[in-house]
Amino acid sequence: MSALQAGTGAADGRTPARRSLRARLLAGLAALGVAASGAFLFPQAVQAAEITVTDARFAWSINDESGNSAFYGGCNFLSAGIAGDNGGATVWTAEEAEELYSTSEGNVSIRKPDADGGWVTPTWQTKCQAPDGGSTTPPSNDRFSGNEVVIDNGTGTVDPASGDAEIRWDGSFTVVFYGGMTYWSVTDPVLRIEDGRGTLTGTASGYGADMFDLSKWVPLEPRDIELATFADAEVGEDGLEIQPDYLGVEIDVEADGPSGPQIRSGDHWGSFPQSFIDFQIETGQAAYWYSSGGQVDRHKPANPFTVTYSADATPRVTFDDAGSWPPLRLPASRDTLTAGLQNIGLPVLDEEGRETSELEPVPENSVVTVIAAGGPEGGVQLESAGATNAVNASGRATVSVRLDALEPGQYWLMFLVNDRIIPLGNTGRDDHRVALEYGVAEPEGPPTSLEATALSPSSVLLGWEPPDGTVGSYRIDAYEGDEPSGDPVRLREASASAPGGASEKTVQGLQAATEYTFTVTPVFAGQDYETSEPVTVRTLESGSAPGGEEPPGEGPGEDPAGGGEPSDGAVFYWGINNETNSGAYWGGCNFLSAGRSGDAGAAAVWSQPDGLYSGSEGNVSVEKPDANGNFVPATWGNKCQDRNGRTVQVSQPFDSEPWTETRVKITGGEVSEHEDGSVTVEWEGSFTVVFYGGMTYWWASDPVLELDPSGNGRVTATAGGYGADMFDASKWVELDERTITLADLRGVDVDAALGQGYFEQTPEYLGVRYAGNHEGAGGDAVGGVDELPSSQARRDAENEAYWGSFPESFVDFQAETGQYSYWFTSNGARDPYKPALPLTVSFDGEYAPAAGNYSGQDTGAGGGASPSNPGGPAGPGSGAPEAAGSPADASTREQTDVNAASAQTPGSAGIGALNPWVWGIAGASVLAIGGANWAVWSFIRRKIGLDPKALL
């Protein structure tokens, strides 16, 4: 098969070197093997008036947050190359880092400043250190590693006179946040400047994660995004320094979306480009890249990047990133490949017929042909079809290539003009070729078993069985009504498609109380395949709790959950504190579970299939109010919802943050009245307190209430669980069981309680001093490398309304679970949520406390009390009496300031002293990390209860 002859302007006088080119291609390329990756074909030649550079160096630290310590996982950092798939949202271990972390790959390297102002190469051990070798923790202290990515050998053109430039780099780097729990990569960045204005673009790829579902780990479709835009770049003879736009840049982001609204006030408000943010919504990092109203918004603005080069007159063709992905993949049913080329140039030949680095324009009307090498026959040349392959006056051509001569297999594709190879630029793959996988198995049949679950007023979870074959992506269509007819409803971009490997997708942005019909269509190589059978559902009414199929074993306990009906024996009710009922900075929320939850094997967010969650077990059940204020069983599906169906989040101010109002209920208590007027009640059963969706949890078994005749006493229980460490994600230790005090009670009117059959009392917390000082809970040592105090904060005018502690034995136990300072005042913004909620005991089982008034506002620590009175009664309708009497034991109730040893870390005013053993994810949006989702909110917070908005 011969190549099409050249058109007008074809070169003459082929040298022997050129005459043997085809033979060498066909014989040699087949021996080169299969391409590992490829790129689409848009070669970009320089214009004759431009000066070409071939050695451009790019250096950028992106922003300060990219070198900051992280609230979990150690720090955020940069890595050379594309980090592989670690299989989930987990912190990289040193062993995994051997495969995932790199400081040099190809043209790309990572460097960081040292104490003397020079540059050094970081190691896995030093990547989180400040230039002086010290710690960068906590994230709010304005100490950063300063690491930056460097890419060498950029090629392109610059014109200092006009202010124009175009430079391309071959290579990739990865941006890693939270030690590896979320990361994404940039490949082959391109700098374009025209008259001083321009963009830095690149092909972004990575993995999508969700702070509310740590099992989510989805490879994202690579796409071109703007890394930076700028309006005032000065193109110099030997380089340029560019300050990207950020301050004052407005973006469109859904105010109630996973990353929260953009805050447009303050000295540091702004954003990275819109396409950048759109991509980060999928990674879960969105709010780390725009102002979300947090204290460390100052760390988010883009840092300047530099480009240096030595200009000469040697032009060099570069690659246009109109598209870049793994090898072109086509099924055998697609018999035509269409490739677009623009500004085609050919290397100038020297006197001996060898290519030089100079380029010359391809004459208009020259004809482009294609060779495919490889495959079963070792090499075959394909003819370009029709006249679409003629080069136009602008140096562009569209080449349609017939593939019917190919057998299924893997090939190299090469493009020729006048029988000479067109260089495709330094793409990191090959200067003259691109890979093609032909005959890939296409989708066979439609997706099956399409079902809709987890309904809410605005979303639905679609699940399906994938078809056989290769699926590039799935398109999800939604139609109003009970048939897939008419025009589909416009869905949010993040909801309208799913990657090829997916088998479920949450569709968001729907209207409440509306009937929708959904279909799922596989897409491969730009072609739609067979659509699934439709499924029709109706979204819930506004304010309804999410539903769907209720998992087994989550029904009510052995007696009514709604309260008010007799039960055999005494009944114990307690929600512990508001933090136990709140959203979490990672994992969705904190919650209660019936029974002793089993061993998860690691500090990991629970999933429903784990079987660790239970709504009832034996005498124990977990319940929460519905929209009408009636208590109903808590389930896996509603455990993170308030009574109005809102997902509880930690991104809102204290006076408006919703909470779940969940409580544990234990029936069958045995009451013993003693001759001296004291009372004992014993229950059999266990409940588990779960923080951060399961990353840390403990259980209490067989609680015992003891009240002396004066109404003072305590509730004790046998405690157990698992110990974890935010600095060592591999730590997971089963703890020894021990008896602890869950609650101290003072001034209960025992006679009145026995007479009316119940009492409600807020356990001691306010004003209680915690005398412990656990260095193990504060890092290696108190005042050690982390310089984070591990004892109660000083009481002052700002925190005195909610200053206090749970009982000492309780907090001592929490030093081992990793939840240490969630249970006393640590000067964190979550401190108002820590005071104990009222506890109710119904001696005869006939009384149950009613739900208080609720609107998602005034989430005082006392279950609805205003912020000025945290720890107060449960709100109107609760029936909670004022606590009688006052504590008399000065050793447990501190009337003066706490010892100065618990003073704040220097420079932390307004945030509080930071404690590293806290399980939390700090941010204002995450997991996506800045106001709502890690789409991750942020991650494990350094101090118990540190408000994410105080950090991001």
* Domain harbouring 525, CATH code: 2.60.40.10
pLDDT the model gives residue 287: 85
| pLDDT at 854 > cutoff 80 | no
Assign 551 a pLDDT band (cuts: 50, 70, 90).
Answer: very low
Confidence of residue 887 (pLDDT cuts 50, 70, 90): very low
Percent of the chain with pLDDT over 90: 38
The lowest-confidence range among 446-455, 712-721, 890-899 is 890-899
Does the pLDDT value for residue 36 go beyond 90?
no
CB 27 within 8 A of CB 380: no
Per-residue pLDDT, averaged over 548-564, amounts to: 35
Per-residue pLDDT tens digits for 482-498:
999 988 987 755 567 77
pLDDT at 374: 72
Residues 479 and 431 in one domain: no
How many structural domains does the chain have? 4
Among 282-296, 586-600, 620-634, 897-911, which stretch is predicted with the lowest mean pLDDT?
A: 897-911
**Is residue 463 domain-shared with residue 604, that is, in the same domain?**
no
Answer yes or no: is 251 within a domain: no
403 shares a domain with 479: no
Q: Are 732 and 724 in contact (CB under 8 A)?
A: yes
Examine the fold and report which residue of 498, 520, 538 is the final residue of a domain before the chain moves on: 538
Q: Cβ(841)–Cβ(743) under 8 Å?
A: no
Angle CA(831)–CA(690)–CA(717) in degrees, nearest 5? 90
- Please report whether residue 812 resides in a domain: no
Please report, in angstroms and rounded to a whole number, the separation of the first and last CA atoms in the chain: 63
pLDDT at 730: 67
Whole-prediction pTM: 0.43
**How crowded is residue 248: how many other Cβ atoms within 10 Å of its Cβ?**
9
pLDDT band at 222 (very low <50, low <70, confident <90, very high): very high
Mean pLDDT to the nearest integer, 910-929 = 25
Most confident by average pLDDT, 11-15, 189-193, 382-386: 189-193
Which pLDDT tens digit goes with each residue over 653-667? 555 567 899 999 999
pLDDT on residue 875: 28
Q: Is there a single domain that holds both residue 401 and residue 433? A: yes
Which of 540-549, 565-574, 672-681 ranks highest by mean pLDDT? 672-681
Residue 499, H or E segment: strand 497-499
Does pLDDT of 521 surpass 90?
Answer: yes
Average pLDDT over residues 232-255: 89
In this structure, what token pair is assigned to residue 35?
Answer: 């391409």
β-pairing verdict for 434-438 and 328-330: parallel
Based on the domain organization, do 503 and 584 belong to the same domain?
no
pLDDT score for 170: 93
| 638 Cβ contact partners less than 8 Å away, ≥ 6 residues apart | 545, 546, 624
Query: Which of 147-156, 340-349, 855-864 has the weakest average pLDDT?
Result: 855-864
In a domain, 928, yes or no: no
Cβ within 8 Å of residue 863, ≥6 positions away: 575, 578, 661, 837, 838, 852, 873, 874, 875, 878
Q: Which domain holds residue 853?
A: 570-765+835-887
Which residues are registered as beta bridge partners of 686? 701
**Per-residue confidence (pLDDT) for residue 495, from 0 to 100:** 67
Q: Please check whether residue 695 lies inside any domain of the structure.
A: yes
Residues 760 and 621 in one domain: yes
Top-confidence residue, 407 or 859? 407
DSSP per residue over 823-875, as a string?
SB--S-TTGGG-SBPPEEEESSS---PPPPP-SS----TTTS--TTSTT----
- Mind listing the pLDDT tens digit for each residue in 350-400? 888 777 767 677 777 777 777 777 765 556 667 665 445 667 665 666 677
The arithmetic mean of pLDDT across residues 239-259, rounded, is: 86
User: 280 in helix, strand or coil?
Assistant: helix
| Pair 353, 407 in one domain | yes
Q: Domain end: 438, 469, 497, which one?
A: 438
Q: Determine the average pLDDT of the residues in 315-333.
A: 49
Instruction: Report pLDDT for 536.
Output: 96
pLDDT tens digits for range 111-134: 999 888 889 999 999 999 999 888
Please tell me whether residues 74 and 154 are part of one structural domain: yes
854 in the same domain as 745: yes
Cis peptide before 138 (omega within 30 of 0): yes
pLDDT score for 327:
61
Q: How confident is the model at residue 708 (pLDDT cuts 50, 70, 90)?
A: very high
H-helix or E-strand containing 751? helix 750-756
| Residue 904: inside a domain | no
pLDDT, position 874: 27
What does each C-alpha distance from 332 to 382, 383, 407 come to in angstroms? Answer: 15, 17, 8
Residue 829 lies in a domain: no
Q: Mean per-residue pLDDT for 475-479?
A: 94
Q: What is the pLDDT of residues 723-776, one digit of tens each?
A: 986 655 667 899 999 999 999 999 999 999 999 999 999 999 999 999 877 654
CA distances to 189, 305, 671, 882, 932 from 227, in Å: 9, 11, 67, 58, 23
Lowest mean pLDDT among 763-772, 812-821, 910-919: 910-919
Q: Residue 191 domain-assigned?
A: yes
Confidence of residue 542 (pLDDT cuts 50, 70, 90): low
Q: pLDDT tens, 692-703? A: 889 899 999 999
pLDDT band at 540 (very low <50, low <70, confident <90, very high): confident
Per residue, what are the HEC states of 470-488? CCCEEEEEEEECCCCCCCC
pLDDT band at 411 (very low <50, low <70, confident <90, very high): confident
Q: What is the pLDDT of residue 22?
A: 43
Domain boundary among 209, 229, 245: 245
Domain identity same for 180 and 58: yes
What number is the average pLDDT over the span 205-212?
81
Position 903 in a domain? no
Q: Sorting pLDDT into bands at 50, 70 and 90, what band is 213?
A: low
Q: List for the chain the helix, strand, coil content (%; round to 5).
A: 10, 35, 55
Residues 705 and 581 in one domain: yes
247 or 55, higher pLDDT: 247
Q: What share of the chain in percent tops pLDDT 70?
A: 70
Contact 71, 939 (CB under 8 A): yes
Same domain? 26 vs 95: no
Report the DSSP pairing between strands 43-44 and 318-319. antiparallel
Alpha-carbon dihedral 788, 792, 793, 799, rounded to 10 degrees:
140
- Which of 55-59, 339-343, 594-598, 652-656 is least confident? 652-656
pLDDT(8) > 50: no
